[in-house]
Amino acid sequence: MIINSYKYAEQYIKIKAKLAYKFNKRMQAFLLLEVAVALTIIGILTMAVIKGQQMLHNARLDKTIMQIESIRINIDTFRTTYGTLPGDYNGHAIEVAHPGNGDSTLDNGEEKYFFEHLIAAGLMTKKQTMPAIGGQFSVVYNTTGDLTGHWLVLAGPNNSGMFNSKDASTVKMKIDGHEDNDNGIIRIRGCVDGSNTVQNTKKKTCTIYIEFP
């Protein structure tokens, strides 16, 4: 009787061990499947976030291009209406806090008041003076160098670079329709070689110069 009890107990233990082994294997397989599904979901979400960020970036870049084209139109409208450049105006048709000297050039600090005059003329709002892509617009007047004349500059603080070469080239292609960096409305600087050819770089070292109309 005792022997039979031992046999039954031994069989019970073996059966329980087998069941436990099978259960553990199934649990392991289930856990591996869960991990695989979780990793797949994480991968899909990560790709969606990256794609969404790129789409948002592209939208901001397109809006900035529209801003550039709008500012150039506003410059032409201001000059046609008031006979000089915004920042240089010294008449009485519009009220400006900082009038220029009316000599048709933005020198002696007049470039700082370029947007002030456009806003006073009702051609722009303060918000429209801020690039959608980030950075800042400024104006320079050069009498020497390879970029003479008046230029609208799109750059980071203190005219530092803020575009990689791909984005800078996109702006040039969409406005000028070509990549010749010595001609056209757009000139790229900060990420070019000695012949002004844009160098392929992911670093944000490019600055964009926009010629006045």
- 100 and 174 in a single domain? The answer is yes
Whether residue 49 lies inside any domain: the answer is: no
Whether residue 48 lies inside any domain: the answer is: no
Whether residue 53 lies inside any domain: the answer is: no
- 1 and 99 in a single domain? The answer is no
Amino acid at 90: N
CATH number of the domain to which 75 belongs: 3.30.1690
pLDDT for 37? 79
- 66 and 29 in a single domain? The answer is no
Mean pLDDT of 20-40: 68
Whether residue 54 lies inside any domain: the answer is: no
Contact 180, 187 (CB under 8 A): no
Which pTM was predicted? 0.80
pLDDT tens column, 165-206: 999 999 999 999 999 999 999 999 999 998 889 999 999 999
Whether residue 121 lies inside any domain: the answer is: yes
209 forms beta bridges with 153, 187
Whether residue 85 lies inside any domain: the answer is: yes
- 65 and 136 in a single domain? The answer is yes
- 94 and 1 in a single domain? The answer is no
- 71 and 127 in a single domain? The answer is yes
- 101 and 198 in a single domain? The answer is yes
pLDDT band (50, 70, 90) for residue 16? low
Please give the tally of structural domains in the chain: 2
CA dihedral 65, 207, 71, 158 (to 10 degrees): 140
- 74 and 102 in a single domain? The answer is yes
* CB atoms closer than 10 angstroms to residue 12: 10
Distance, in Å, from the CA atom of 64 to the CA atom of 57, rounded to the nearest integer, reads 11
CA dihedral 127, 136, 172, 83 (to 10 degrees): 70
Q: What six digits make up the tokens of 140?
A: 């320079």
- 124 and 161 in a single domain? The answer is yes
Whether residue 159 lies inside any domain: the answer is: yes
Residue listed under structure tokens 């005219």: 159
Domain that holds residue 18: 1-41
pLDDT tens column, 98-136: 999 999 999 999 999 999 999 999 999 999 999 999 999
